[in-house]
């Protein structure tokens, strides 16, 4: 074994990336992927949004992208053709996912060539091999008392509600075990050692890739008492961006939830750029840290050339529920930007027939504050309805209207009902 690089970090987990012989033996429980990196790869069946669509899309170059001051029409493909059925929409989700990976977050690599998983005494261990490199990850899992299987949250320092298991993927674990995210640009960490050709992938997508491999591991093992069809993530601020990215780019997660994520998730790039007050913009977030993909930097002064905006990225969740908590006094997150983006997303869900699946608590407060009773009751309703399958619970009228949606300025095209 040569070129060994090992590290250990938060939450009692250990990880190592090393080069190894391609003939190294694997364990009994394994999953194989396409391997390698480059372009916009696909994950296992059911992972990436739109994976059921067989249509292929060409990602244009930056120079080929047209300029559009409005938030792009979710129901118009890049070639100008229209979404007229839900089957079309699934293909449009595939295109949006590919464009978001190419220009905003960086490509999500495919699964490794080999993934072996085991579970014992509350710890899930993943042994992965790809292109002669090996990576071992361990993650702690805490389950409630009683008999499972239980829904589970990818706990990005947000905790777990009653009756929900915790997959302990806190920020210290993610930054030490997967990908660092310090000030300024630069990609370091085991993910980039394992995928040396993925330097264009930002840390948000790197963390999302590992969440998907944890799901693989849970699907392959027993004894953890987790219902792998009832997963979601939750965190606040940058942890909220992380939880959202994990779920948006793996449709095996049953719900997409986040708290005060702002720019990079719920704040539309065009709307933020139009503000006269100090809010986080595309140029600022790119320069701040490594969250966004390398190719996103070219849009710092050219947000109108982005082929997708965040209302479409959030709509990758459909038909799954979306749950968001933001503060009306959280000026850096741009409350009007967040409202505009989420309202446009809700209109997409309405056209597709399930706008009640978008929950938005816009509480009167600042960044990552509690959100009060409105958030607690909304969070509980979404958990009970979508994770515990309680059909008696309604999530209707759970969308706060603290601003007015300026459709004339931002909406590009009609949103007719999609049968």
Residue 118 within any structural domain of the chain: yes
Residue 5 within any structural domain of the chain: no
What range defines the domain where residue 234 resides? Answer: 62-410
> Catalytic one among 29, 51, 331, 367?
367
pLDDT at position 5, please?
24
Residue 23 within any structural domain of the chain: no
Q: List the chain pLDDT tens, one digit each, 419 residues.
A: 222 222 233 333 344 565 443 222 333 344 444 333 223 444 556 899 999 999 999 999 999 999 999 999 999 999 999 999 999 999 999 999 999 999 999 999 999 999 999 999 999 999 999 999 999 999 999 999 999 999 999 999 999 999 999 999 999 999 999 999 877 787 899 999 999 999 999 999 999 999 999 999 999 999 999 999 999 999 999 999 999 999 999 999 999 999 999 999 999 999 999 999 899 999 999 999 999 999 999 999 999 999 999 999 999 999 999 999 999 999 999 999 999 999 999 999 999 999 999 999 999 999 999 877 799 999 999 999 999 999 999 999 999 999 999 999 999 999 999 99
pTM of the model: 0.91
Contacts of residue 81, Cβ cutoff 8 Å, sequence gap at least 6: none
Q: How far apart are CA 268 and CA 309, in angstroms?
A: 6
Residue 406 within any structural domain of the chain: yes
**Residue 237 annotated to the active site:** yes
* Furthest C-alpha separation in the chain: 62
> Catalytic one among 212, 237, 263, 267?
237
Residue 130 within any structural domain of the chain: yes
Q: Which of 266, 270, 269 is nearest to 258 (CA)?
A: 266
Cα 40 to Cα 95, 98, 252, 363, 397, distances in angstroms = 10, 6, 19, 37, 37
Identify whether the C-beta of residue 250 lies closer than 8 Å to the C-beta of residue 226: no
**Residue 362 annotated to the active site:** no
Residue 203 within any structural domain of the chain: yes
pLDDT digits (tens, 9 = 90+) for 135-163: 999 999 999 999 999 999 999 999 999 99
Residue 416 within any structural domain of the chain: no
Q: What are phi and psi of 343, to 5 degrees?
A: -65, -40
Identify whether the C-beta of residue 246 lies closer than 8 Å to the C-beta of residue 233: yes
Identify whether the C-beta of residue 245 lies closer than 8 Å to the C-beta of residue 204: yes
Which CATH number is 310's domain given?
3.40.50.1820
pLDDT at position 126, please?
98
pLDDT at position 303, please?
98
Residue 341 within any structural domain of the chain: yes
Task: Name the domain count of the chain.
Answer: 1
């Amino acid at each position: 074994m040569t070129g060994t690089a090992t590290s250990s970090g938060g939450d009692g987990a250990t990880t190592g990336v090393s080069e190894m012989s391609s003939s190294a033996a694997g364990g009994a429980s394994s999953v194989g992927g396409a391997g390698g990196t480059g372009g916009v790869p696909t994950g296992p069946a059911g992972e990436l949004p739109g994976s059921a669509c067989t249509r292929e899309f060409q990602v244009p170059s930056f120079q080929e992208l047209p300029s559009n001051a409005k938030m792009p029409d979710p129901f118009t493909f890049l070639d100008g053709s229209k979404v007229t059925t839900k089957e079309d929409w699934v293909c449009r989700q595939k295109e949006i996912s590919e464009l978001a990976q190419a220009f905003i977050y960086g490509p999500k690599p495919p699964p490794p060539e080999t993934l072996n998983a085991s579970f014992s005494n509350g710890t899930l261990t993943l042994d992965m091999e790809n292109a002669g490199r090996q990576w071992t990850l361990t993650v702690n899992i805490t389950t409630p008392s009683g008999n499972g299987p239980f829904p589970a949250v990818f706990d990005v320092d947000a905790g777990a509600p009653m009756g929900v298991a915790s997959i302990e993927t806190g920020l210290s674990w993610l930054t030490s075990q997967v990908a660092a995210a310090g000030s300024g640009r630069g990609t370091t960490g085991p993910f980039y050692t394992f995928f040396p050709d993925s330097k264009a992938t930002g840390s948000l997508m790197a963390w999302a890739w590992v969440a998907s491999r944890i799901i693989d591991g849970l699907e392959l093992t027993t004894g953890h008492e987790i219902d792998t069809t009832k997963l979601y993530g939750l965190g606040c601020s940058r942890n909220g961006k992380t939880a959202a990215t994990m779920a948006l780019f793996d449709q095996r997660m049953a719900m997409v939830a986040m708290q005060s994520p702002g720019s990079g998730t719920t704040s539309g790039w065009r709307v933020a750029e139009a503000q006269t007050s100090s809010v986080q913009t595309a140029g600022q977030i790119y320069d701040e840290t490594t969250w966004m993909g390398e190719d996103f930097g070219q849009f710092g002064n050219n947000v109108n050339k982005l082929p997708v905006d965040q209302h479409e990225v959030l709509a990758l969740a459909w038909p799954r529920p979306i749950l968001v908590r933001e503060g009306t006094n959280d000026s850096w997150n741009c409350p009007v930007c967040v409202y505009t983006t989420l309202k446009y997303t809700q209109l997409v869900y309405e056209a597709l027939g399930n706008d009640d699946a978008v929950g938005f608590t816009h509480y009167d407060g600042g960044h990552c504050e509690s959100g009060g009773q409105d958030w607690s009751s909304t969070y509980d309703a979404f958990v009970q309805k979508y994770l515990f399958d309680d059909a008696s619970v309604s999530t209707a009228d759970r969308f706060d209207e603290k601003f007015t949606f300026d459709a004339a300025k931002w909406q590009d095209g009609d949103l007719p009902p999609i049968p």
